[in-house]
Amino acid sequence: MDALDPQVNIPFAEVLYKQPTFLQAVYDSLSEQGVIVMQLGDAPYISDPHDTIGRHENRAIITSHLLRMGFQSVHVYEEKHSDFDESWTYLVAMKDYTSRSLWYSNAAEIEVAIHKRIKHTHSGKSPLRFFDGATMMTYQTPHKAFEVVYCRNIPMPAGCDEATHGFSKSRPNAPVSSFEVKASQVGDHAGRGVFAKIDIPKGAHIGVEQSMNSINVASTTYDIALSLAEEYDLPDLDAALEYLWGYGFESNLYGETSVVVDSTILTFVNHGCNGTYNAATVTSTVTEMTTGVDEFDEAFFMNDPYNLVVARHLPHNQNSGDVALRDIKAGEEILNNYLDFTTDEENWKEDVRDLRNQCLGTGVGAITDIERGGLASMKVWREGK
């Protein structure tokens, strides 16, 4: 949508941007997977005040309207090739959260999409002068000035406090060397567990110095692996998927489900039954015993549709490691709430049942089951297809 610059101070601009009627009509006219792209005027400078109190007030109002209407993923980027005197700001708003997976496609995927969808010219040359897959990758992370200006809002938005990035000296960190692997104490179902070798204060990060080394399996890669595993019997691929299912956790930070595996001994951290977990990144208030299999809270697992701090630090937000929820004494086992790692309703039902059985002593974890000679989860998965 190319309308008047939001900074233009004329009556029609006020009707267009300050009143929600037009934008609501646009939202209602879009399909469930609809996307709107609109220009928001010149890009912010790092010294600018927050949009709500500066000359970019209409930009703040537009964003607020779009979020209130229900757009589930909103992105901003700047472009220097719009033939204006300044770099120009553009906004992309998506009605469906999973559409953001397209925004975060890698350069090769974007090049393939361009090849399939772009109209060919008579000369055979590309009609795109300034855009390709590598250019799109630069749009995915907002400019630093966007984040700085965003964080000047009052009250300060979530995530703007430096300590939440995980690298502030004001927040202690218990390095991976502060832990060891021993037989778990949570029950016969658990196998190995991770134990603290030192006292860890409440609020301390756990192994944050190694968090950037996590193994990340993108949603497209994961989907291809599942498709191949469903069609063919490939032992090496089965082993890789068993590893992902046994030690990884799901993330929908990039839209579709991807899988993340901690690359350190912290991958052996077990589930804390009945709310006994003492470490988490962000945690819900439910346990395997207090929730129902049909009580999946989609909103809890849906990320903030517009948070420029998160948008600029996505890898860290996905792999930032846990925080001690209380003081942890040397010798205590580190425990998570595994329900926090389930991002879709189908897996939620299965995970609640499995964790409940394990905590009641009537079931064991997938890795323990395999190591004891039980059926590999790949075989169970295929039989369920």
- 99 near 255, Cβ under 8 Å? yes
Domain boundaries, the chain: 11-152, 174-383
Average pLDDT over residues 113-134: 90
The pLDDT tens digits for 29-48 are 999 999 999 999 899 999 99
Closest C-alpha among 148, 174, 149 to residue 162: 148
Over 80: is that where the pLDDT of 373 sits?
Answer: no
Pick the more confident residue, 130 or 300. 130
Greatest mean pLDDT among 69-83, 150-164, 344-358: 69-83
Angle at which helix 235-247 crosses helix 219-231, to 10 degrees, equals: 130
Q: If you ran DSSP here, which 8-state letter would residue 16 be given? A: I
Give 200's DSSP letter.
Answer: B
> What pTM value is reported for the model?
0.86
| Contact predicate 371/365, CB 8 Å | no
With 0-12 / 13-18 / 19 or more C-beta atoms within 10 angstroms meaning exposed / middle / buried, residue 29 is exposed
In the chain, what percentage of residues exceed pLDDT 90? 51
| Cβ atoms of residues 292 and 348 within 8 Å | no
Tell me: pLDDT of 108 over 90.
yes
**C-beta of residue 108 within 8 angstroms of C-beta of residue 132:** no
Instruction: Tell me the CB-side half-sphere exposure of residue 310, using CA atoms within 13 A.
Output: 16
CATH topology of domain 174-383: Beta-clip-like (2.170.270)
The pLDDT tens digits of the residues spanning 227-246 come to 999 888 888 998 899 889 88
Whole-number mean pLDDT of the chain?
A: 87
* Tens digit of each residue's pLDDT (9 = 90 or more) over 66-93: 999 999 999 999 998 888 888 999 999 9
CATH number of this structure's domain 11-152, picked from the four choices 3.90.930.12, 3.40.50.150, 3.30.70.260, 3.30.450.70: 3.40.50.150
Distance of alpha carbon 40 from alpha carbon 149, whole angstroms: 15
* Measured CA angle at 43 (ends 112, 163), to 5 deg: 90
